[in-house]
Amino acid sequence: MRDIRSGVGSLLILAAMVCAPRAHAAGTAVPTFSHDIAPIIYNHCAGCHHQGQVAPFALTSYQDVQQHAGTIAAVTATRYMPPWKAIHEKGRFIDERRLTQAQIDLIQRWVKAGEPIGNKRAIPAPPSFASGWLMGKPDVIFKPDRVYHVAAAGGDVYRCFVIPTNYSTDRWVKTVEIRPGNPRVVHHVIVYLDTTGKAAQLAAATHDGEPGYIHFGGPGVPAAGSLGGWAPGTMPMTMPHGVGMLLPKGAALVVQVHYHKDGKPETDLTRVGVDFCTKPVERKMKIAALAYPGLYIPPGDANYTVHTDLPIPTNVHLFSVFPHMHLLGHTMVVTATLPDGTVKPVIDIGNWNFNWQGFYTFKHEMELPAGTVLHMTATYNNTLSNPFNPNDPPKLVRWGEQTTDEMCLCFLLYTVDAQHLNANVTTKQ
Ligand code: HEC
């Protein structure tokens, strides 16, 4: 992978520096593990890098961190870790995984200094990780009726599990938490809603002895909405005051899980915890998308660029965005031009990686008045300098659902200011 390769390059340079005589800039204190490095690693890395989680090794002690020090310096300098694809926007999103330049520099200086431990007794305790639901006990837990078996080896699998809800009235969802059963193999999850019954038919027509059906891209049926998604590091998603996600009566959840095999046979039972709204709902969380379906990406083009605009006809609040491309995608930038001409950044993905995608939820919802225009620019690299290119030699790639096809989408979760549903809520069956 591109970033790992560049990581290895800087690793060699680092190794050379570490072997050189240790000198420090005058007046700069030597960083130590106990004082400087442990707080960074425990706060920003250990969440994924602990036993049983998706990351390949733990970073929960001095020994762990020291053992990987060279690679840590390399992958933090290139910003490959922590995985977080939005650039130049510190402080805009919740659950943001980004190191500051000062933190990156501290790690570099610590490794150059030979990874001093500092005052052993002052090392902070490693974080403890809740094994229960982060949202508290959910009103309802949706799960497939049996576990899914993940083979030891082979390509990645996209499995869609169909979970009927059987409610006879519409429900309004306040909070969703998605809990992968087996974080060693669950790479990411998207929860779709199906009101057509077609997803259940696809599962019934699958005869491989396992629950659900295989489908890459979307769920393979026209989705009636989504209840969000999960990638490592995702926290429960809670709607703002007066807002709900609609769970239409009779809908089935279609839980699409991307499995990444880990060399051992594994099982998984991914669950979705839901709290319903208890106060009347005024506004529905809606989904729209900026899309460019006319993709026509010629082989050999390292910088195929597309633009699209989306005028906003009414006052809205933008809650969260979810950029989506496949393997040729390289960058995606979305901005909003307000009626007064002000241009506001929405999302800027500088170095797309299909393996790290998810919702970017604003700390403060973006107010977009009627007359705002959203602009999206996306670039694609269809040459072999793109290490993810699925075609060797590269070939013409167009829009489609397969991994080897492409997409150009930015999903938008938003509410319409003028909506006043005053929808009654019920938590009864
Ligand atoms: C959101 C989850 C997550 C967070 C947070 C995270 N990592 Fe990782 N890390 C992973 C996963 C998954 C892999 C293995 C796959 C990959 O390399 O992309 C990985 C791989 C690595 C590797 C090996 C890379 C290589 O080239 O082999 C290093 C080193 C690393 N992480 C260090 C860190 C450090 C340091 C931090 C904090 C500053 C951090 N990670 C934060 C999930 C995470």
Q: What is the pLDDT of residues 358-404, one digit of tens each?
A: 889 999 999 999 999 999 999 999 999 999 999 999 999 999 877 78
Q: Is 62 exposed, middle or buried (0-12, 13-18, 19+ CB in 10 A)?
A: middle
Nearest CA to ligand 1 atom 9: 55
Helix (H) or strand (E) holding 375: strand 373-380
Q: Is residue 205 scored above 70 in pLDDT?
A: yes
Average pLDDT over residues 104-127: 96
User: How far is 16 from 73, CA to CA, in rounded Å?
Assistant: 13
pTM of the prediction? 0.82
pLDDT on residue 158: 92
| Residue 4 Cβ < 6 Å to ligand 1 | yes
Q: Tell me the pLDDT band of 356, cut-offs 50, 70 and 90.
A: confident
Q: Tell me the pLDDT band of 39, cut-offs 50, 70 and 90.
A: very high
At 279-322, the pLDDT tens digits run 999 999 998 999 999 999 999 999 999 999 999 999 999 999 99
Question: Cβ distance 112 to 223 under 8 Å?
Answer: no
| Distances in whole angstroms, Cα of residue 381 to Cα of each of 68, 323, 332, 367 | 32, 17, 12, 33
Q: What percent of the chain has pLDDT over 90?
A: 70
At 164-203, the pLDDT tens digits run 999 999 999 999 999 999 988 898 899 999 999 999 999 9
Q: Tell me the pLDDT band of 334, cut-offs 50, 70 and 90.
A: very high
Q: Which residues contact 427 (CB under 8 A, 6 or more apart)?
A: 139, 276, 278
Domains of the chain as residue ranges with CATH = 2-122 (no CATH), 140-281 (2.60.120.310), 286-416 (2.60.120.230)
Of 165 and 261, more confident: 165
pLDDT on residue 24: 41
Nearest CA to ligand 1 atom 17: 4
| Residue 85 Cβ < 6 Å to ligand 1 | no
Backbone angles phi, psi at 423, to 5 degrees: -75, 135
Average pLDDT over residues 15-29: 42
Cα of 81 vs centre of ligand 1, distance in Å, is 5
